[in-house]
């Protein structure tokens, strides 16, 4: 997956390596962990992995935990199929990720940090290991970090397994060689994380932004993108689009503008909808693309979410019920099944979706879908389970006419079409 050219004026702080290597790490050591965390809070940096928590608050919570030792973990595990934003970031800016992780580790008082990455990302792994090896040889990492008397070991951990490893509590179990199932939160990893110890877990895109903020200042970062969630995010655009690839986009950019930067619809195509957020994402119809900002709150308002950063452009040839049912089956297959709503509820959701595809759904199936989706989401241990109903819910919200024949829709009361 290639990096697409960004328009003039769009900041490219994630995919661009630091101009002065390790300058941000030196600044963080000089300032101390508390001041560094406060700088990130002042900048408004929120996690790029989907949760959207303030990064500095995460670090502060890890420091405040009484248990020790403490750990820092970079989540580079790409969960969704055919999404490569993390891989591109690691290949383009491994230095920024390693420096951000080192800053996180020293700020929370950790002496060991790990990068969990898909085992098949061989080029990215080589880039990370080369940066770490050089840093150890030059005294940047190791027994005496930049002459500070602090010790820090950073290692890359290749991982293989289901998409669930992308969830942070599952990632921590995978790093410890345990079965990949999520844990109830709270307590959060900042209290009970890797090996049961306090752990600061951040997505690699979050860590890549840390160095830029410490070098350029919190105020400069806050000027970029949506003030409620400032900075940039990596977005992968594919489907019925002229240029597929990855863009670094200021938060809050309207979906229609992102598509325009990617060249607009492919020749002869008319965009019907976007699937935003990957397999558990939401369908956003064409008429809402101009008014929907690419931000946590903006996407939530239309039933979608940032998720893996995937935007799939759909043209008129795509049958929304078929795609929604297929995505729901995939989510059900990938679910770990730790809870009954996850193990059984997601399967029943997939079955309801298939009834619509086969033309066997009745008026009650819309209501049944709503009730079951609410039960699954309300009892969810993790985001995968909570978001599994999204394709069917948003599909019916905006494209109910494709799910129900006209005669059935009239008797259904359009219950599903009013989903939130």
Q: What is the pLDDT of residues 288-298, one digit of tens each?
A: 999 999 999 99
What is the CATH number for 41? 3.40.50.11540
Same-domain status, 211 and 237: no
What's 345's DSSP letter?
I
Last-in-domain residue among 290, 315, 340: 315
Same-domain status, 134 and 54: yes
Distance CA 138, CA 61 (A): 32
* Token couple for 153: 């070991």
Last-in-domain residue among 177, 192, 222: 222
Closest to 308 in 3D by CA, of 275, 266, 284: 275
Supply the pLDDT for residue 277: 95
Same-domain status, 39 and 179: yes
CB 96 within 8 A of CB 211: yes
Same-domain status, 65 and 196: yes
Residue 272 lies in a domain: yes
Same-domain status, 194 and 341: no
Residue 9 lies in a domain: no
DSSP 90-138: HHHHHHHHHHHHHHHHHHHT-SEEEEEEETT-HHHHHHHHHHHHHHHHT
Rg from Cα positions in the chain: 22
What is the CATH number for 309? 3.10.20.600
Supply the pLDDT for residue 380: 86
Residue 384 lies in a domain: yes
* Token couple for 368: 């049944």
* Dihedral angle, C-alpha 390, 391, 396, 402, nearest 10 °: 180
Same-domain status, 268 and 381: no
Same-domain status, 67 and 188: yes
CB 90 within 8 A of CB 121: yes
Residue 347 lies in a domain: yes
Supply the pLDDT for residue 113: 98
| Structural domain count, the chain | 3
Same-domain status, 210 and 256: no
Distance CA 256, CA 274 (A): 10
Supply the pLDDT for residue 163: 83
Q: Which residues of the chain have pLDDT under 70?
A: 405-420
Show the domain range for 45: 23-222
Same-domain status, 194 and 264: no
Supply the pLDDT for residue 181: 84
Distance CA 129, CA 149 (A): 23
Residue 364: CB atoms within 10 Å: 11
Same-domain status, 206 and 141: yes
Same-domain status, 147 and 61: yes
Residue 7 lies in a domain: no
Same-domain status, 262 and 248: yes
Last-in-domain residue among 315, 338, 356: 315
Residue 393 lies in a domain: yes
Distance CA 357, CA 401 (A): 13
Within 13 Å and on the Cβ side, how many CA atoms surround 212? 25
What is the CATH number for 361? 1.20.1440.230
Supply the pLDDT for residue 406: 61
């Amino acid at each position: 997956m290639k990096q697409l050219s960004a328009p003039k004026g769009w900041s490219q702080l994630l995919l661009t390596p630091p101009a002065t290597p390790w300058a941000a790490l030196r600044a963080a050591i000089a300032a101390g962990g508390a001041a560094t965390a406060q700088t990130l809070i002042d900048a408004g940096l929120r996690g790029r992995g989907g949760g959207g928590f303030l990064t500095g608050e995460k670090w502060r919570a890890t420091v405040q935990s009484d248990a020790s030792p403490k750990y820092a973990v970079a989540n580079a595990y790409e969960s969704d199929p055919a999404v490569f934003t993390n891989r591109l970031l690691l290949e383009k800016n491994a230095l920024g990720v390693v420096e951000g992780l080192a800053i996180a580790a020293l700020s929370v008082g950790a002496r060991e940090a790990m990068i969990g990455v898909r085992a098949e990302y061989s080029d990215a792994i080589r880039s990370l290991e080369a940066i770490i090896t050089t840093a150890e040889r030059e005294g940047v990492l190791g027994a005496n970090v930049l002459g500070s008397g602090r010790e820090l070991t950073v290692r890359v951990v290749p991982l293989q397994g289901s998409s669930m490893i992308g969830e942070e509590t599952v990632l921590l179990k995978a790093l410890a060689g345990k079965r990949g199932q999520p844990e109830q939160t709270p307590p959060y990893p900042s209290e009970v994380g890797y090996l049961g110890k306090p752990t600061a877990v951040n997505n690699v895109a979050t860590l890549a932004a840390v160095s830029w903020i410490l070098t350029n200042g919190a105020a400069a970062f806050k000027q970029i993108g949506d003030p409620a969630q400032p900075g940039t995010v990596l977005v992968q655009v594919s489907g019925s689009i002229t240029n597929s690839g990855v863009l670094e986009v200021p938060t809050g950019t309207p979906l229609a503008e992102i598509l325009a930067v990617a060249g607009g619809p492919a020749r002869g195509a008319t965009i019907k909808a976007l699937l935003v957020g990957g397999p558990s994402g939401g369908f956003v119809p064409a008429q809402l693309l101009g008014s929907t900002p690419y931000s946590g709150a903006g996407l939530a308002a239309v039933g979608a979410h940032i998720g893996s950063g995937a935007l799939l452009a759909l043209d008129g040839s795509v049958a929304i019920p078929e795609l929604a049912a297929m995505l729901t089956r995939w989510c059900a297959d990938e679910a770990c099944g730790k809870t009954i709503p996850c193990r059984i509820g997601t399967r029943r959701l997939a079955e309801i979706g298939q009834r619509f595809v086969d033309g066997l759904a009745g008026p009650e199936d819309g209501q049944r879908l709503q009730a079951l989706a609410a039960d699954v989401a309300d009892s969810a241990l993790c985001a995968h389970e909570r978001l599994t109903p999204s394709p069917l819910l948003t599909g019916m919200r905006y494209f109910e006419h494709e799910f129900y024949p006209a005669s059935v829709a009239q008797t259904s009361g359009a219950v599903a079409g009013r989903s939130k």
